[in-house]
Amino acid sequence: MPEVYVRAVRWVADDPQPGIVECRLVDADGVEHVLIDKSAIFDDGDRLRPDASCPIELKLTCRVVREGDADLVVELAHHVESVEGQRTFRVPRSSIA
């Protein structure tokens, strides 16, 4: 599955386990969207910890909904959404791993 680049910017809370982290996704218009969810959603390793030095570049699984010439519309996996409730984003092709 494709992945979209996101950036972890801060550890939010230790509970619920394994902890909550804030990430940012930049869309095709340069708008930063705030994503807050469990650390395990964003990282299956040990890069996201309370003492980790942010920002940390990560990749989040997504599904391509529509393809354009310079951009794609993607839907984030694992029911991840922005703090505004948005799950689909138009991102530049360079944002896809």
Specify the pLDDT at position 59. 96
* 28 DSSP 8-state letter: T
Q: List all residues 6 or more positions away from 74 whose beta carbon is below 8 Å from its beta carbon.
A: 2, 4, 62, 63, 64, 65, 88, 89, 91, 96
- Compute the distance between CA of residue 72 and CA of residue 81 in angstroms, rounded to an integer: 17
* pTM score: 0.93
Structure tokens at 34: 């705030």
**Mean pLDDT along residues 16-26:** 96
**Residue 32 lies in domain:** 3-95
**How many folded domains does the chain comprise?**
1
b/e code 1-31 from CB counts within 10 Å (16+ = b): eeebbbbbbebeeeeeeebbbbbebbbbeee
Q: What is the pLDDT of residues 39-96, one digit of tens each?
A: 999 998 889 999 999 999 999 999 999 999 999 999 999 999 999 999 999 999 999 9
